[in-house]
Amino acid sequence: MSAPKKKEHRKLFTVGGDAPFQFTEAYKSLRTNLEFLSASGNCKTILITSSVPEEGKTNVAINLALTMAASGKRVVLVDCDMRKSVVSRYMRIPRNRPGLTNVITSRDDNALAGALVRMKDNGITILPVGTIPPNPAELLASPATEKIFAALQSAFDYVIVDTPPVSVVTDAAVLCRVADGVLLVVRPGVTTIQGAQLSKKNLEAVNAHILGVIMNGYDAKKTGRKDGYSYAYSYGYYDTKQDSAE
Ligand SMILES: Nc1ncnc2c1ncn2[C@@H]1O[C@H](COP(=O)(O)OP(=O)(O)O)[C@@H](O)[C@H]1O
Ligand SMILES: [Mg+2]
């Protein structure tokens, strides 16, 4: 008899609504800094990665996309996590929709347009992951993937890319060739110094342009700092309520 499947309790914390003011403000400040970088060079395609699972890559990718769209930018969020794709679940998009992998393997010129999902309530567009393939890294390394990213770059102001952990699999490093910059997510209590160092090394090995580090889930109160300031972008959002079972 097979072991019972462990129930997952993943949750999306989003900017706006009843989110803490500092949480939403931190994303706005990240947006401003990325806009400055865009003004002085190309910073259109931004890859979000981290060293291991559960550091908040997907939460950060979605919130960055939402924050940019809120200022009127045309934003597409591409789910490139073919190992543990959760963007569709977080955004309540049916799991069986065609997505990136189907567009990569399609010969139909309209496949990309047909796979994009425009979210009416927040204005972002999502390219779901699609059918999970046995060979994610090879698919992502294909010339077809480059063509898809080139098309997205010309249709949108920003292309935000959610990826699997860079110290575990090569997919994120493979995708660096289509990205203008990389944001590395770290999370207190989850990220280790060694993990962060290995991620940096793996990204540098493919000449990735590391734009910065995002500290996700940082709680100023727990550090004992009375002024509450930190020298990193912080995205503290600790929910005191119990995670809702999804
Ligand atoms: N800032 C945060 N505060 C509290 N919980 C968070 C925060 N960021 C992420 N989480 C939680 O951590 C889990 C993993 O987040 P996710 O974005 O899916 O990580 P990853 O993509 O790195 O695997 C989710 O249950 C999510 O709700
Ligand atoms: Mg993720």
Distance 187 CA to ligand 1 centre (A): 9
Residue-averaged pLDDT of the chain = 88
Q: What is the CATH number of the domain that holds 130?
A: 3.40.50.300
How sure is the predictor about 229, in pLDDT bands with cuts at 50, 70 and 90?
very low
Distance 166 CA to ligand 2 centre (A): 12
| pLDDT at residue 244 is higher than 90 | no
57 vs 238, residue with greater confidence: 57
Domain of residue 82 covers: 43-219
pLDDT at 218: 83
* Contact assessment for residue 87 and residue 79, using Cβ atoms and an 8 Å cutoff: yes
209 by Cβ neighbours in 10 Å (0-12 / 13-18 / 19+) ranks as middle
How sure is the predictor about 234, in pLDDT bands with cuts at 50, 70 and 90?
low
Phi, psi (deg, nearest 5) at residue 132: -70, 120
How sure is the predictor about 235, in pLDDT bands with cuts at 50, 70 and 90?
low
What sign does the CA torsion over 9, 12, 17, 19 have? positive
Atom of ligand 1 nearest to the CA of 165: 22
In a domain, 10, yes or no: no
| pLDDT at residue 9 is higher than 90 | no
In a domain, 157, yes or no: yes
In a domain, 214, yes or no: yes
Query: What would the pLDDT profile of 105-154 be if each residue is shown by its tens digit?
Result: 999 999 999 999 999 999 999 999 999 999 999 999 999 999 999 999 99
pLDDT at 94: 95
Distance 216 CA to ligand 1 centre (A): 8
Atom of ligand 1 nearest to the CA of 239: 4
Ligand in closest contact with the CA of 56: 1
Q: State the Cα–Cα distance between residues 246 and 23, nearest whole angstrom.
A: 23
Atom of ligand 1 nearest to the CA of 11: 27
Atom of ligand 1 nearest to the CA of 237: 3
pLDDT at 231: 39
**How far is residue 139 CA from its own chain's centroid?**
19
DSSP state of 55: S
3-state secondary structure at position 208? coil
User: Of the candidates 40, 38, 46, which has an alpha carbon nearest to the alpha carbon of residue 161?
Assistant: 46
Q: State the Cα–Cα distance between residues 97 and 48, nearest whole angstrom.
A: 23
| pLDDT at residue 227 is higher than 50 | no
Question: Total structural domains in the chain?
Answer: 1
Q: Where are the alpha helices (DSSP H) in the chain?
A: 21-39, 57-70, 87-90, 100-105, 111-115, 136-141, 143-155, 171-175, 193-205, 220-223
Query: What would the pLDDT profile of 44-89 be if each residue is shown by its tens digit?
Result: 999 999 999 999 999 999 999 999 999 999 999 999 999 999 999 9
Q: State the Cα–Cα distance between residues 246 and 11, nearest whole angstrom.
A: 8
In a domain, 124, yes or no: yes
Global pTM value: 0.89
Angle between helices 21-39 and 57-70 (to 10 degrees): 70
In a domain, 7, yes or no: no
Region 223-231: what's the mean pLDDT? 45
| pLDDT at residue 239 is higher than 50 | no
| pLDDT at residue 1 is higher than 80 | no
List ligand 1's pocket residues with C-beta within 6 A: 10-11, 13, 50, 53-59, 86, 216-217, 235, 237-238
3-state secondary structure at position 72? coil
pLDDT at 245: 33
| pLDDT at residue 232 is higher than 60 | no
pLDDT at 42: 84
Distance 156 CA to ligand 1 centre (A): 26
In a domain, 241, yes or no: no
User: Of the candidates 52, 42, 61, 35, which has an alpha carbon nearest to the alpha carbon of residue 183?
Assistant: 61
Q: State the Cα–Cα distance between residues 112 and 114, nearest whole angstrom.
A: 5
In a domain, 118, yes or no: yes
pLDDT at 18: 85
DSSP string, 86-114: -HHHHTT--TTS--HHHHHH---TTHHHH
pLDDT at 6: 62
In a domain, 170, yes or no: yes
